Amino acid sequence: MTDRYAVIGHPIAHSKSPQIHAAFAAQTGQDLVYEAILCEPEALKSRILEFRDQGGRGMNITLPFKQEVMGLATEQSPAVRLAGAANTLIFSKTQIIAHNTDGLGLVRDLEVNLQFPLAGKSVLLLGAGGASYGVVGPLLAAAVSALVVVNRTQDKARGLVDSFSHFSGSIALSTLSHGDLMESSRRFDVVINATSAGLSGQMLALPKNIFSPGALAYDMVYGRETIFMAFARAQAVQVADGLGMLVEQAAEAFYLWRGLRPQSGPVINELRRQEAG
Ligand code: NAP
């Protein structure tokens, strides 16, 4: 029997997840369908349970439900407990197991696709929203040397750093105010833009000397050239968008559901080909 999966969010029409999972299923010969479900916030719980009760095997969760969905889980993975958010559910008759694959997706994109090993690297993370919460644990687990979080609302950056302080071990995990960052002469090996500023054509100002020689600038946004990416290109550093992270977090979810690891490279290439139009 064909197994059913879905992504649920609001809005959802833009989601590339159905295309990505259909490509993974074709590649690995898995008999499954994957649909997109638009859901009003007040209907989230009933819509997820309905999908499960109709035989659904798993779901991806996207904005704005990644935190709220945790209340439905009977079991949470360590990544979910650390991030305070989930993007993948596995259903059985009695259980809903919640996972968060965003951070692993980012780390795999950086280390495997972009061939940029993170161990010993200094990282500047811009933003302290749900995406940042999802990636801090896996970045620390990748043994970066230092992780500095800067956010427009500094209290949120402090809250993020506080909630991971017990997990950082010998890694220097800290926050800087935006003003202090502008004054600072610190340079970073990796600068990750995890703000949604690029979607509105805005950007936190950054000092021009923010990048170490050979640095990588990574914007989690995909499908457009953001101000952050243009700024980084002007400093002649390597620049990447978040398309690879999107495909890698999906590959990780597919692996959790099906026990098979699909090849993400051909799917990333196909999406890039379509983007280029
Ligand atoms: P979120 O929870 O809404 O957080 C948004 C963050 O952006 C906050 O830190 C916010 O700062 C900051 N921000 C928004 N507008 C800004 C501006 N004009 N200037 C400076 N900072 C601004 O969103 P999220 O879930 O963390 O997602 C962040 C981005 O990552 C989105 O663009 C999302 O599409 C992308 N994302 C990509 C992937 C992927 O697979 N590629 C996965 C997850 C997320 P304040 O705290 O001050 O409001």
Atom 38, ligand 1: residue with shortest CA distance: 220
CA nearest to 135, candidates 12, 218, 31: 218
Place of tokens 């010998």: 170
Q: List, for residues 209-243, the tens digit of each pLDDT value.
A: 999 999 999 999 999 999 999 999 999 999 999 99
Q: List, for residues 15-60, the tens digit of each pLDDT value.
A: 999 999 999 999 999 999 999 999 999 999 999 999 999 999 999 9
Residue 41: φ, ψ to 5°: -55, -40
- CA 155 to centroid of ligand 1, rounded, Å: 15
Q: Please report the domains of the chain, with CATH numbers, ordered by start residue.
A: 3-100+244-276 (3.40.50.10860), 103-241 (3.40.50.720)
Closest approach atom of ligand 1 to CA 152 = 47
> What predicted TM-score, i.e. pTM, was given to this entire model?
0.96
Task: Provide the pLDDT for residue 192.
Answer: 98
Q: DSSP letters of 117-173?
A: --TT-EEEEE--SHHHHHHHHHHHHTT-SEEEEE-SSHHHHHHHHHHHGGG-TTSEE
Q: Is 66 a catalytic residue?
A: yes
Out of 152, 181, 219, 227, mutate this one to test ligand 1's pocket (max ligand atoms within 8 Å of CB): namely 152
Catalytic option among 16, 45, 66, 156 = 66
